[in-house]
Structure 1
């Protein structure tokens, strides 16, 4: 299976076997200053922009295999052309980007040629003099080039609505380049996004105003256009325009921190501007049909001008289109498609609130390569949420729709378009019997599997002898299944259900329970939805062990390869930090990935070539065999794992899923020896 070494990602599609024709990188909003450690901005975060850009370009230069070229979406430098420091900043940028051994193609941003033409704009606006200064520094401000059957068109978005002579010239030229592309695919790149949330949104500092917006969106909707990349907003968003994927990229330098309004907790560094977990760039793999855009988070890493080039740390990237793990996911309990009004805090947003959608949960799923989520039926009934379901479904994502009593009516066509692969009904046995005909009809009309999640009206675990925990409990438990098999078989025979939901508590041995459920599912020829609980038994006590959660993520992923009849769904995607059963999960309340998400991504990038695996329990974990290859997943204190590692052949590769290293057996033993004996290790070994 063809795999890139940096960043580590699958290049060969596990479903189709397709390999990329080439790859390229997209960088946005580096905001390089005239010298390291200084900035015309009063914000402390901006002083670090040069060191962060330097790290990014060194990271790109270490890519293996290297990209064909790099696109920059503008705001190349921070000082605007009217400042005497502009020329110095240009020279700084060229020095910082000099490690690149591939072509660098840039598009102008508002810091490079002046802001868009609008009477309330707080900075100098685009004009012929600034355009001349830019062209002298960087070359043409709109142009195109062809590469392996694909046309790339750089658009100067600041010319749109400018009234300058070059606006009309660019307009005619862009239309000509798209129309004359022939059979070539077209990729557009620019600084200003035409819109952020909706094509008809009102004008703001973030978007292009009318009438130019409509013209540009019409170009994006041309059938030849496959993708559009825009910067300026310093945050991630994704949409579809016609048949084109429309990406808005984060910055490498700072966050547009008015949008930290999305958070339900306080913002990070410098009131959110320094939320470095969201800084990054894109790597795009172009295939004979379509492309895959990988989001690469830089975490704000820096490199000084006197520093030696850093050794690339192992970093993994995945994508739903490149994953074969379609049976491990999470329940999206929190809103994940939420639109809200962003407060006008001043600065560039003074005149009224603006609407924006929070795409960070969407991004986290995308980066993990997640292909399965459980969502409430409310999401299918809500047009906004359903539209986002449909977008992810195009990439291979699938949904379990969970309901109380009976599912909503949905046709087979609607279910397929939204990626609904299964329905979960939470009910008592009595309610199931009452709705028997309706449930059979739902199965038939939707074409989706239907899982019965038994509601426990009373359970002895509610009372610990001192406290009564008042909570709803749904899902069969393993120990009761022998007594329930008769009724389950009857419901299967009556075509009321396809399978059942089994809950596994966070304190249960997942390896042993998972292997038992695989055996049961194969014996009954019945699919099982495994609901993995992330909370402890006490509703008032937090469960916040990232390493234990990450280990269970890894175990579920390997278990999912043991039988196609099991799906594993963790009971929350985001941390629950208030209310009942507080616990940590894949992402925190700022939507940043936790270790569990990183482990999911790493295993996706490492093991998606596996189809089915014969599994057995082993000391401290799971052992899998497939086609002469052995895969083991081990979780225990470091000291306990050393004897098992020594039994591996010297050629074995050892992946430290918590520490991030990949090494030979002997090197891995050396790395482990540097850790305290009781420190936890989560290792994947392959030989």
Structure 2
């Protein structure tokens, strides 16, 4: 492994489970020569070399067994006058970072795919030979422990130059069929599905080699396939093959901004900096986990970033989400350069965010189970360790058996919502008793007519109130019916910490196995949301096996009630996202029988969880305040960073002190 810089580590991985091995994947760094004062089409081009350098230095500080660069080291093309000069400087930048990555050949490194509509020349035998002389073969493999890793050159597929590689890959996969297999490309095989058109499509691999490759990888049970080129993140699953398209560290691509309902990101969508970053992959006996390292276009990293667990390593954690928006919106990128056809694409950012935040469950309307695309993407989440709870309003005509018959094993739990009145009537109780033999059931409620200050029209309440739970339990007791869960709401004006403690003081609910909680974000105050959600999640540590469902997942900006979500309209994280992501892992890693306390210090409200061995203190400042952290760890939750044994830190949002 490369030597690491001798300063404060840039990453804290102490809360992660031990892995067999780990490796880093980055892509499309696009070093660009300094053009001085010359006019540029996009101002962010002046930043991309610095962004790339910072990301490379950051990646070098991860304790990885190896790194793979998925191609496009430079901005120039092989047929441009400055190609060699740019490549020299890019390699110098790479060497200065301390990284020695395995390299994949990209279109900026060797030339475009074999398609006469592409913006630059296809690979020639001369350019390919030059690349091989400088870097070695553009298709090769290596082993590390129980896994085997294969690098391919997609730019020569579907050409005579790719014949040797094709024969080599078939032999290589056969030879290492008993190992866990990982494959790395530059061009993605596809964006929407394996049958999408390729001629005129800038972002996929052509035929017939696309079909040949995917069938071959499936035949040999390849575990993961990584590709770059697109500068956006996408993902899919083909059988057991997990397919990931890795974002760029340097800039995003215009065109894909049509995936979002908000206004475009800066520079026509080319400078959507929060989406920039790279991946850390950690390999275990039974799975491999991906962690997105967000660089967000920054060029100076001084704080230590907390790397948090994936849902597969958080089973039993409380954090969950209600999907107010579809998990998988879709769009067609218009016919615009560099493609000459429309490109059908999914917006995978909500799905990726659900995994990154560490949610272990999502609530969705039953219509998502009926919708083919949404159902498929929900099954993707289930494969990643995220349970699906489908909710459906009750009326006398509800045929839940029909849903269970038509969509078997498509949801982990079904939630029936009483409508109009909170308590279930006899017909509803009959349905619950009948269907509870087939599937775990949850109960919630839809109650219109709630008066809200400042609103012209009454609003609709979702979820039970605390004081209604005892009556519900009595009804269930009379019917000798035990529910998996009931959903109780935390109102915006309520104090989650106090609400949960009031719940723990209630008599036991004999016929409700657990109570889950609904938290709806009430405003456009990001700091207030981060404090509210952190308090609610912290409070759930007092309850075994509960779930806290937070919504909206995305901003509501054109509805009767507007509010910021966990993600903004471009599907980029708001402060609450990182606050929940970090606190969820911290609470899971320090699971104890806690005793709650509360105090105030320096004008800051402090919630405390105390056990015999540990103390967790949640600081909820409304204004920035200095805090001493000697012999303690202070986690700035919204920033996703940690300070250890420093004299003083500035606390500007919800923070956790561990001692």
Counterpart of 1:532 (choices 495, 498, 519) is 519
- Report SS of the residue matched to 1:608: helix
Is 1:630 aligned to 2:615, yes or no? yes
Change (3 A) 1:185 1:473: same
Change (3 A) 1:621 1:510: farther
Is 1:30 aligned to 2:21, yes or no? no
Is 1:147 aligned to 2:144, yes or no? yes
CA distance in 2, matches of 1:628, 1:412: 50
- In structure 2, the residue matched to 1:438 is 431
- In structure 2, the residue matched to 1:72 is 69
CA distance in 2, matches of 1:300, 1:563: 39
CA distance in 1, matches of 2:635, 2:315: 20
- In structure 2, the residue matched to 1:385 is 374
Counterpart of 2:339 (choices 335, 342, 349) is 349
- In structure 1, the residue matched to 2:501 is 515
Change (3 A) 1:208 1:530: same
- Report SS of the residue matched to 2:154: coil
Counterpart of 1:338 (choices 329, 351, 361) is 329
Q: Which moved more, 1:563-572 or 1:479-488?
A: 479-488
Is 1:477 aligned to 2:465, yes or no? yes
Counterpart of 1:112 (choices 109, 113, 116) is 109
Change (3 A) 1:71 1:397: same
Is 1:88 aligned to 2:74, yes or no? no
- Report SS of the residue matched to 2:252: coil
Offset of residue 122 of structure 1: 2.4
Q: Which moved more, 1:514-523 or 1:357-366?
A: 514-523
Q: What is the TM-score with the length of structure 1 in the denominator?
A: 0.87
Is 1:671 aligned to 2:627, yes or no? no
* Structure 2 unaligned residues grouped into runs of 5+: 1-7, 600-604
Verify the 8 A CA contact 1:528 1:566 in the aligned structure 2.
Answer: yes
Verify the 8 A CA contact 1:39 1:47 in the aligned structure 2.
Answer: no
- Report SS of the residue matched to 2:247: coil
1:350-499 paired onto structure 2 within 5 Å: 350-351=340-341, 353-405=342-394, 406=398, 407=400, 409-411=402-404, 416=409, 418-427=410-419, 428=421, 432-446=425-439, 448-451=440-443, 453-459=444-450, 461-462=451-452, 468-481=456-469, 486-487=474-475, 489-490=477-478, 493-495=480-482, 497-499=483-485
Q: What is the TM-score with the length of structure 2 in the denominator?
A: 0.90
CA distance in 1, matches of 2:310, 2:611: 24
Counterpart of 1:580 (choices 557, 560, 576) is 560
- In structure 2, the residue matched to 1:556 is 536
Is 1:181 aligned to 2:176, yes or no? yes
CA distance in 1, matches of 2:548, 2:238: 34
- Report SS of the residue matched to 1:472: strand
CA distance in 1, matches of 2:402, 2:615: 45
Offset of residue 325 of structure 1: 5.4
- In structure 1, the residue matched to 2:229 is 232
- Report SS of the residue matched to 1:98: helix
Is 1:46 aligned to 2:45, yes or no? yes
Change (3 A) 1:84 1:565: closer
Counterpart of 2:11 (choices 7, 12, 19) is 7
Q: How many residues get paired?
A: 639
Verify the 8 A CA contact 2:578 2:640 in the aligned structure 1.
Answer: no
- Report SS of the residue matched to 1:247: strand
Offset of residue 77 of structure 1: 1.5
CA distance in 2, matches of 1:412, 1:517: 36
Partner deviation per Cα, 1:29-72 (whole Å, 9 max, x = no partner): 11112347699973332332211110011111222xx2111101
- Report SS of the residue matched to 1:593: coil
Q: Which moved more, 1:206-215 or 1:628-637?
A: 628-637
CA distance in 1, matches of 2:69, 2:445: 54
CA distance in 2, matches of 1:158, 1:276: 27
Q: Which moved more, 1:386-395 or 1:653-662?
A: 653-662
1:306-325 paired onto structure 2 within 5 Å: 310-324=301-315
Offset of residue 610 of structure 1: 2.8
1:115-126 paired onto structure 2 within 5 Å: 115-126=112-123
- In structure 1, the residue matched to 2:4 is none
- Report SS of the residue matched to 2:430: helix
Counterpart of 1:328 (choices 313, 319, 324) is 319
CA RMSD of aligned residues (A): 2.7
- Report SS of the residue matched to 2:506: helix
Change (3 A) 1:31 1:636: closer
* Structure 1 unaligned residues grouped into runs of 5+: 14-18, 304-309, 536-542
CA distance in 2, matches of 1:243, 1:288: 16
Verify the 8 A CA contact 1:9 1:318 in the aligned structure 2.
Answer: no
Counterpart of 2:218 (choices 212, 221, 224) is 221
Partner deviation per Cα, 1:223-263 (whole Å, 9 max, x = no partner): 34111100111111111123221100111121121010011
CA distance in 1, matches of 2:282, 2:304: 21
Q: Which moved more, 1:312-321 or 1:181-190?
A: 312-321
Is 1:172 aligned to 2:159, yes or no? no
Change (3 A) 1:562 1:338: same
